Amino acid sequence: MTMERLQLICLPYAGAGAAVYRGWQRLMPHWVELVALDLPGRGLRQAEPAVWDWRELIDSVMGSLGRRIKTPLALFGHSMGALVAVALARELRVRGAPAPVSVGVSGCVAPRRRELNLTWLDCSDERLIAELRSLGGTSPEVMGCRDLLDLILPTVRADFHLCGSYQPLDRTPLGCPFLVLGGQSDPLSQPRDNLSAWSLETSGVCRVEMVSGGHFFIHESEASVVSLVASSLAALEPVRSGMSVMS
């Protein structure tokens, strides 16, 4: 009997595209189909203007998914991608679409612990560059070349605004389990309440795990992160009862 694969939809962090998950599929079990999405302004959607409005962004993500959505499905996002993943889960519920069986959020302060910051759209390029440098995820080649920085700054500016303006209109908890990942050296993962407060976003089980590395621990400890995500998916009842999870 052929078992249906679980679809894992992955959302990238600020300024990045689907390519950040390039190495994940080879590390995932055969029963996981990884779908990494490019948001407007990056990757395959580089020609599109970056989006700084949450309603427009989620409509765009839903449009890019279209009929590609399969069941069972799970969501995962790192940093800004975590906020997109949760917003997408809520939008699926509103539209009566298949609900995710799991949501993974990584390197991101929980919504109830976030503070509004509406300064990014109007701040100087120098402030944006300083923030990029402090996060440490941009390559030295890009950080050392103003022409390359000028190419990515509009998208970074929009993404930082999205992170600073996130306020879900619907506070009704989701019903699926959450996997919450934090970096042991990531300032955003401290205090621990920044991560444990994700439990307020779901009526399901909320599992918090710490991983070696700073804010971009999904690259520093990629194999560990993928292993945690895969094991959390394998433990789900819809997966155990409906699909073979043997390698």
Domain ranges, residue 15: 6-110+170-236
Active site residue 196: no
Q: Which residue has the tokens 């599109």?
A: 48
Order of all β-strands in the sheet with 206-211: 32-36, 6-11, 73-78, 102-106, 178-183, 206-211
Q: Per the domain annotation, does 77 fall within a domain? A: yes
- Cβ atoms of 183 and 107 closer than 8 Å: yes
**In this structure, what CATH number is given to the domain that contains residue 98?**
3.40.50.1820
Kindly state whether residue 87 falls inside one of the protein's structural domains: yes
The amino acid occupying position 116 is: L
26 located within any domain: yes
Query: How many domains in the chain?
Result: 1
Residue 220 lies in a domain: yes
Chain segment 107-159, per-residue pLDDT in tens: 999 999 999 999 999 999 999 999 988 888 788 888 888 888 888 899 999 99
Q: Does 172 or 242 have the greater pLDDT score?
A: 172
The predicted model scores a pTM of 0.93
- At 33, give phi and psi (nearest 5°): -100, 110
Instruction: Judge whether 17 lies within some domain.
Output: yes
Q: Is the pLDDT of residue 206 over 60?
A: yes
- Looking at the chain, the whole-number percentage of residues with pLDDT higher than 70 is 94
Is 120 a member of any domain? no
**Catalytic one among 79, 106, 189, 199?**
79
Flag whether 34 is in a domain: yes
Q: How confident is the model at residue 1 (pLDDT cuts 50, 70, 90)?
A: very low
The tokens for 31 are 């029963």
